[in-house]
Structure formats: C-alpha cells, structure tokens
C-alpha cells in the first residue's frame, strides 16, 4: 500500500494564534515534519481517531527501556553489546537471532506492560491508526534536525512511536520506517 500525504500541514506557532491542545499537553514543537503532520492529521480526524492519537502519543511519551535506564544510555550500551563488527581483541558479540542477542535487546525495549497497552490500542483503533503512524514516519524526514537532536518531547515521542511499531507492525509502517532509516544515514 503506497501512502502519500494529500497536503502539507501549516506551521505550528503561537505567533499566528495557533492553539493546538495536543502540542500543549505533550510539549511538542513545530518542526516542519512529523509534528506538523500530526497536527494536520489531528485537525482532519474524527473524535474517535483523536482519542486514539492522544492515547498513543501519551504511551509513546511514557515509553522507557525495560531495564529502567534512560534511552541514550541504553542505546549506547546495546550498540556496544550487539553492534557490529566486533573490534579485534574483544569478546565476540552475540549473533542476531540467538537467545543471548534477544536477551540483550529485551533490556533496551519497553517492558511488556507498555507493549500490551500499545497492542490493545492498535487493536481498538484499527488500520486507520497504523496508516497515520506511517504518515508520521514519512514526514519525520522533514523534521528540523534541531528538534530531533535534543532530548525533548519531539524526539522522545518519535522514539516511542518507533518502538510502537515493534509491538505489532503493519506493512505500511515497516516501509515508512525503512524510508526513515535510509534517510537518517
């Protein structure tokens, strides 16, 4: 399924009298990318879809690694444990697909309670939510780099959105993540 946004969202700004409750509630800032597109989705959505989006954004804001560390520390730790190649003279790293590799990855993923909440929301919301999340990933490539480099709501909620795909991925989300990964290289 090819997903193409129908129109470009406007910039969020208090200067132009914009008052978007979801941005205020979660501390999101206009970024020219995924947050602006979320506003467009929000504006054009039904009340039910808005509730699902708000719940998902809240879950993504609250996502934490199962081990209890912060994302940045855990990201560095998992890269040193599972990243390739193994530097000469170091103990070999676990191979993808092995039990040891999975155990290391499970430490950095959100815990099962969070995953269960995301799974239940996705089942309740259906395909509409999956498609809208895919749109957000497609638009993330347009986000201002400053909003994604700082430890701030835009980056942390996007990280949670990425983890939400691991819970129960729709094909459109996987492809949108593929595109985002290629862009980030």
pLDDT of residue 134: 94
pLDDT of residue 153: 94
Q: pLDDT tens for residues 66-90?
A: 988 888 888 888 888 887 777 788 8
The region that residue 174 occupies, defined by phi over 0 for left and psi between -120 and 50 for alpha, beta otherwise, is: alpha
Q: pLDDT tens for residues 139-168?
A: 999 998 788 888 899 999 999 999 999 998
pLDDT of residue 18: 55
Contact 66, 106 (CB under 8 A): yes
Alpha-carbon span 92 to 180, nearest angstrom:
30
The region that residue 183 occupies, defined by phi over 0 for left and psi between -120 and 50 for alpha, beta otherwise, is: alpha
pLDDT of residue 3: 39
**CA neighbours closer than 13 Å in the CB half-sphere of residue 153:** 15
- Nearest-CA neighbor of 167 among 102, 127, 123? 123
Q: Which pTM was predicted?
A: 0.82
pLDDT of residue 6: 36
**CB 175: neighbour CB atoms within 10 A?**
17
pLDDT of residue 150: 84
CA distances from 162 to 8, 60, 118 (A): 22, 9, 12
pLDDT of residue 19: 62
pLDDT of residue 46: 93
* pLDDT beneath 50: ranges in the chain: 1-17
Alpha-carbon span 178 to 180, nearest angstrom:
5
DSSP secondary structure, 155-172, as one string: HHHHHHHHHHHHHS--HH
């Amino acid at each position: 399924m090819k997903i193409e946004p129908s129109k470009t969202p406007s910039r969020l700004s208090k200067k132009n009298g914009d008052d978007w409750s979801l941005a205020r509630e979660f501390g999101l800032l206009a970024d020219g990318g995924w947050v602006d597109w979320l506003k467009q989705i929000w504006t054009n959505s039904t009340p039910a879809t808005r509730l699902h989006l708000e719940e998902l954004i809240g879950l993504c804001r609250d996502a934490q690694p199962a081990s209890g560390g912060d994302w940045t520390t855990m990201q560095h730790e998992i890269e040193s444990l599972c990243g390739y190649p193994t530097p000469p003279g170091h103990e070999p790293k676990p191979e993808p697909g092995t039990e040891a590799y999975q155990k290391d990855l499970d430490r950095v993923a959100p815990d099962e309670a969070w995953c269960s909440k995301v799974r239940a929301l996705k089942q309740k919301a259906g395909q509409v939510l999956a498609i809208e999340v895919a749109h957000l990933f497609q638009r993330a490539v347009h986000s201002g780099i400053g909003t994604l480099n700082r430890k701030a709501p835009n980056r942390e909620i996007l990280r949670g959105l990425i983890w939400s795909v691991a819970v129960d991925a729709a094909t459109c989300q996987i492809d949108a993540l593929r595109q985002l990964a290629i862009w980030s290289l």
